[in-house]
Structure 1
Amino acid sequence: MGTLKFHILFSLVLLMSFSTFSQTKEQLEDQRKKYRVEIAKLNKLLFTEIKKEKNALEDLKDINQKIDVRNKLIHTINLEVQLLSRGIKTNQRKLQNFNKSLIALKTDYAAMIYKSYKSKSQQSRTMFLLSSQNFYQAYKRLEYMKQYTAFRKKQGEGILVQADFIKKLNDSLGYQKRVKDTLILVEKDQKVAIEADKKKQEDLITKIKKKEGKYKRDIQQKVKEEKRIAARIDKIVKEEIANANRLALSKLKDKPAVAKKNEFILSPEAKALAAKFELNKGLLPWPIGEGVVVRKFGKQSHPLFPGIIINGTGLHIVTSKGSMAEAVFNGEVLNILVGSGGTKNVMIRHGNYITSYNNLENSYVQKGDKIITGQKIGKIFTDKITGKTTLVFVLLKNTNKLNPASWLLKR
């Protein structure tokens, strides 16, 4: 009976180890799928658009991003292969132990069957009972025979269960080996692709080095222009807060003793909206259906010219031509700014939060309009030179810029 309990316990331990292994494997599978989808998006959104002019620096930025994602994919595949290799080795050892225990179980069972065969006849059983010294002993012998028969049956069933478990384990090992072989082939394909990308990367760096001074001047000019635009937007935001506060004060019965500079005075409704907005941190929908982030939030060194610092006021998201910007939350249009090239920037207020949808070709809303989550704000502008359709999405609390990536749903 102890042997059978040991095998049942061993089976449970094995099943638990399978569960832990499978959970980690699923996480890596999800990561691998995510990176493959991201590579497909990069190819679709950054490398299929027809460009009027070739810009080596822009092309290098795109190819660097693809190489980075490919490296992450290869790293994930490596982890997955290592995990599978460890799992296969562990399960092979367990399979050997299971096979040994199965042989021992079969040997015990065979010996029991042989003993049972020797005393099989009804006469032997009757004589065994009749030779009892008293009724109590006869009763105990009868119970023993019943228990022995039941134990024999259980042991036979245990052998069948264990044999079936070993078959399933063998099938699982075969499947894991096939998955591992497939992943190794995928990794080889990605390494070939990354080598081709690196060759393009080297060619682009050579071209850039020949005109390094020109490219540096162009970048510095763009950085200055972005700072000028950011300062203009900051000024307009402060003006809008001041205007909104004057209107709020005229309506409020209980006026605040001191209104903080550059902070919205909130009505009870605006407070409730801001609270709801805050509760949705990390859950807000993306302002576009499909896209890839080509510039992150915050200060960052230029990848090729580290001395030049780029300040990302929000997320720069490249999407497909003809895409619409969509509101990430309920609110009211605070202002619509028009850039030097005629592109529009729609700013939506959510209590004391503001979301900004910049680089729109046109706007479907007007200042003061009530907005609902998912509402189309305007068509995103497509640059005729680069061929890219880029939305600049900015998030502020009063005048303080926040990282939108922390507020949007993880993709």
Structure 2
Amino acid sequence: MKSRFYIVFVIAFFSCFSSFSQTKKELEQQRKKLNREIAQVNRLLFKEQKKEKNVLEDLKDLNQKIDIRLSLINTINSEAKLLTSEITKNKKEIAQLEKELAILKVDYARMIFKSYKSKSQQSRIMFLLSSQNFQQAYKRLAYMKQYTSFRKRQGEEIGFQTDLVKKMNDSLLFQKQVKDTLILAEKYQKEKIELDKNNKEKLISLIKKKERKYKKEIQNKIKAEKKVAKKIDKIIRDEIEKANRIALAKLKNKIKNTKKNEFVLSPEAKALAAKFELNKGKLPWPIDQGLITRKFGKQPHPTFPGITINSTGLHLVTQKGKSAAAIFNGKILNVLVTSEGRKNVLIQHGNYITSYNNLDKLYVKKGDTIITGQKIGQIFTDKVSGKTTLIFALYKNTTKLNPAAWILKR
């Protein structure tokens, strides 16, 4: 009966530990990911040589680093709480195991003592010879065998129970060491956040002195971004109109009820678009290494909450000299060159279009067939901020989509 109890207990213990390990593993992976993000922020946003002091950019970068550190501290706290809960639970289970082990040992000692007494009073042979008949002798022999077997099992069970207690104690010690490490990591991050917050206060103080000037700069930048976005929208509409005229002419107007600002697709183009859709959430990033410094869509300005930004795509910062790569097979629909000389490449994938803005040198031209991962141009590095930023956008016909939902999560 006791043997069954211990088997059930051990199964329950290890199943609980397995469930805990899975949750702990997820938190550990998240912690490692956030540490990598902090390293990237330091490498890409703070180590590049800047020719001029740009307090707005510096404050935005600092806020991003603080946010990641706060997320890391929350993750560390969750991991530490989970460990505390498990340590408490394991202590109770070890106490129960030790209690059961003590009972086992007492029972076993009592059994050994009785066995010794029975041997001194009457030998096993005399016990058998004193049987009244053969059947009784057979039963006595069977009883002695069972008794010997039971003693052996009891001894093995004590050994097993002792080993289990040792393993649980070792596991408990390891968990305590992990928790101590997490506490130190949390303390380190809190110290770093305090330094970042002090720097942030200094930057805010500088910004407040020239708030009107900085707000005007931001408004001008937003206007410039809107101007570029309108140009891209017009290019896409013009390209759709042009492509549809050619397609309808080839098909001799067999296709009716075509929608405005939507591509008329050939069977090959439909198949390409379908493949693109099937890869949603699995498409590669247009840069090898980097991080998102601005998300897609409407959002408050990181420095002046009263100002709203409407981002047409993702702002991805990478290392100087890096190139942008196509995220899927397609063809170069068009190339837009801004007044500052920056290039924007549009790649068509059926009725989907990917936009790679803020390029310096180009390796492709309009009409080229492109394959996944092919480099299309070197990304421009701002001489003032020292940042190498790609503005990556995604369209379905003329509708803007959130690229973050289509590329792999990092």
> Aligned residue for 1:200?
199
Q: For residues 327 and 122 of structure 1, do their structure 2 counterparts lie closer, same or farther at Cα, with a shift above 3 Å needed? A: farther
Q: How far did 1:186 drift? A: 1.0
> Aligned residue for 2:76?
77
> Aligned residue for 1:10?
9
> Aligned residue for 2:325?
326
2:405 matches 1:403: no
Q: How far did 1:368 drift? A: 1.4
Q: Which runs of 5+ in 1 are unaligned?
A: none
* Conserved 8 A contact 1:297-1:312: yes
* Conserved 8 A contact 2:59-2:303: no
SS in 1 for 2:392: strand
Q: How far did 1:122 drift? A: 12
The letter for the 1-side match of 2:292 is: V
The letter for the 1-side match of 2:197 is: K
Greater mean alpha carbon deviation, residues 300-309 or residues 203-212:
300-309
Q: How far did 1:143 drift? A: 2.0
SS in 2 for 1:119: helix
SS in 1 for 2:324: strand
* Conserved 8 A contact 2:323-2:377: yes
Q: How far did 1:149 drift? A: 1.5
The letter for the 1-side match of 2:205 is: T
Q: How far did 1:144 drift? A: 2.1
2:128 matches 1:147: no
The letter for the 2-side match of 1:390 is: T
Structure 2 matches for 1:306-321, cutoff 5 A? 306-321=305-320
Q: For residues 144 and 305 of structure 1, do their structure 2 counterparts lie closer, same or farther at Cα, with a shift above 3 Å needed? A: same
Q: How far did 1:96 drift? A: 0.6
Cα deviation digits, residues 159-186 of structure 1 (max 9, x gap) = 1111111111111111111111111111
* Conserved 8 A contact 2:104-2:158: yes
SS in 1 for 2:362: coil
2:30 matches 1:31: yes
Structure 1 CA distance for aligned equivalents of residues 121 and 248 of structure 2: 105
Cα deviation digits, residues 378-400 of structure 1 (max 9, x gap) = 11000111110000000111100
Structure 1 CA distance for aligned equivalents of residues 308 and 61 of structure 2: 19
SS in 2 for 1:362: strand
> Aligned residue for 2:303?
304
Cα deviation digits, residues 51-72 of structure 1 (max 9, x gap) = 1111111110000000000011
The letter for the 2-side match of 1:250 is: A
SS in 2 for 1:303: coil
> Aligned residue for 1:250?
249
Structure 2 CA distance for aligned equivalents of residues 83 and 170 of structure 1: 18
Structure 2 CA distance for aligned equivalents of residues 207 and 199 of structure 1: 13
> Aligned residue for 1:388?
387
Cα deviation digits, residues 356-384 of structure 1 (max 9, x gap) = 11111111111111111111111100011
Structure 2 CA distance for aligned equivalents of residues 254 and 155 of structure 1: 90
SS in 1 for 2:175: helix
Structure 1 CA distance for aligned equivalents of residues 353 and 132 of structure 2: 97
Q: Which runs of 4+ in 1 moved over 6 A?
A: none
SS in 1 for 2:293: strand
> Aligned residue for 1:236?
235
Q: For residues 157 and 335 of structure 1, do their structure 2 counterparts lie closer, same or farther at Cα, with a shift above 3 Å needed? A: same
The letter for the 2-side match of 1:115 is: K
Structure 2 CA distance for aligned equivalents of residues 193 and 132 of structure 1: 85
Structure 1 CA distance for aligned equivalents of residues 254 and 390 of structure 2: 39
> Aligned residue for 1:295?
294
Structure 2 CA distance for aligned equivalents of residues 253 and 277 of structure 1: 28
* Conserved 8 A contact 2:343-2:357: yes
SS in 2 for 1:328: coil
* Conserved 8 A contact 1:273-1:350: yes
* Conserved 8 A contact 1:252-1:267: no
> Aligned residue for 1:213?
212
Number of aligned residue pairs: give it: 410
Structure 2 CA distance for aligned equivalents of residues 189 and 127 of structure 1: 77
Structure 2 CA distance for aligned equivalents of residues 141 and 271 of structure 1: 86
* Conserved 8 A contact 1:281-1:407: yes
SS in 1 for 2:298: strand
Structure 1 CA distance for aligned equivalents of residues 391 and 326 of structure 2: 13
The letter for the 1-side match of 2:18 is: S
Cα deviation digits, residues 299-347 of structure 1 (max 9, x gap) = 0111232221101100000100001101111111111111111111111
The letter for the 1-side match of 2:258 is: A
2:271 matches 1:272: yes
Q: How far did 1:137 drift? A: 2.9
2:96 matches 1:97: yes
Q: How far did 1:254 drift? A: 7.8
Structure 1 CA distance for aligned equivalents of residues 263 and 54 of structure 2: 43
Cα deviation digits, residues 61-117 of structure 1 (max 9, x gap) = 000000000011111111111111111111011111111011111111111222222
Identity of aligned residues (%): 66
Structure 2 matches for 1:46-85, cutoff 5 A? 46-85=45-84
* Conserved 8 A contact 1:354-1:395: yes
